[in-house]
Amino acid sequence: MSEGHKIGVTRAIKGMMCVKEQETALIAAGVNTRAIWRMGQHSIDDIVTAFRPGNDVLVVAFLGILGKHRYDLLNPIAAKGASLLDLSTNKSHDISQAATFAEISKASCTAQTSPARASAINGPNKVGRKPKLRGKQLAEIKAAWQSPVGSNVDIASDYGVSLTWLHNHLGARKVVWK
């Protein structure tokens, strides 16, 4: 695949490479500064218009830049015979093939969600709802549940949980009714 006119695309993505860093990487890859387009500032139609029929190359710093607009951008430029160069892997893709298109789409989604995924796994804030009861309160509610004193509704309202929560987490109450 011979290389033609290189056209770069940038996009601001929180937690990823900033636009200036993307532009620097594109310029280092041989993209002319006048051929760098920023998604959000320029319309996709304007970006597609910049591609000439033949062997132009869309250059991106990483596939996450394409985002949810990847189909709107890649389909028309694939019809013009363009290819895609991902600088993060230094891999050139022939986007006219369906299998390659699916691979690009998957890589784009992964690149887009990886900062959030890493933050959820390694960050101080855990994903999901905080536990209603912890430590001492949990020990107290277990003791109250095993004790024959008090009704189920009273125990649930005292600790701010539902009867369903009590039964799901503590099992059936072992109280003998007279």
Sign of CA dihedral 40, 44, 46, 47: positive
pLDDT at 177: 57
Contact 95, 83 (CB under 8 A): yes
pLDDT at 1: 43
Contact 97, 74 (CB under 8 A): no
Burial 80-119 (b: 16+ CB within 10 A, else e): ebbbbbbbeeeeebebbeeebbeebeebbbebbeeeeeee
**Quick one: 70 and 152 in the same domain?**
no
**Quick one: 90 and 142 in the same domain?**
no
Low-confidence ranges of the chain (pLDDT < 70): 1-3, 98-102, 105, 108-109, 111-116, 123, 125-128, 175-178
**What is the residue range of 37's domain?**
6-122
Residue 95 lies in a domain: yes
pLDDT at 113: 67
Residue 129 lies in a domain: no
* CATH code where residue 109 lies: 3.40.50.1390
**Quick one: 84 and 18 in the same domain?**
yes
The structural domain count of the chain equals 2
pLDDT tens-place string over residues 8-21? 998 887 777 788 99
pLDDT at 127: 63
Residue 178 lies in a domain: no
**Quick one: 140 and 116 in the same domain?**
no
pLDDT at 28: 92
